């Protein structure tokens, strides 16, 4: 059964003029890529493991970022709440 379809397809292809072949190829290529599911390639998630080994982290950068994101944590709560209310 499969070979009869292949034969029919090949006969149809042979009847197409040569100048139309590039377009036919694109159509067939798109059909094949849509009809036949491709397996996804899984990446190696551990590929960067150990890259930063031995690196020194500047703690002041973390403190500065934390203060800019959470300014209320670096102040006393009642004073910070009063400043927040007064600003609004």
Give the number of domains in the chain: 1
pLDDT in tens, 42-60: 666 667 777 777 777 788 8
How would residue 66 be classed by pLDDT, with cut points 50, 70 and 90? confident
Asked, for residue 20, whether it belongs to a domain, the answer is yes
pLDDT band at 19 (very low <50, low <70, confident <90, very high): very high
In a domain, 30, yes or no: yes
Instruction: State how far Cα 65 lies from the chain centre.
Output: 27
Please give the residue range of the domain that contains residue 11.
Answer: 2-35
Q: Report if residue 53 sits inside a domain.
A: no
0.85 surpassed by pTM: no
35-54 burial code (b ≥16 CB/10 A, e <16): eeeeeeeeeeeeeeeeeeee
């Amino acid at each position: 059964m499969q070979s009869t379809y292949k034969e029919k397809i090949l006969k149809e292809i042979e009847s197409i003029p040569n100048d139309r072949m590039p377009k036919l190829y694109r159509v067939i290529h798109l059909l094949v890529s849509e009809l036949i599911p491709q397996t996804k390639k899984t990446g190696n998630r551990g590929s960067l493991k150990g890259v930063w080994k031995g690196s020194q982290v500047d703690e002041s950068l973390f403190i500065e970022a934390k203060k800019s994101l959470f300014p209320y944590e670096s102040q006393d709560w009642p004073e910070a709440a009063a400043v927040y209310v007064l600003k609004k």
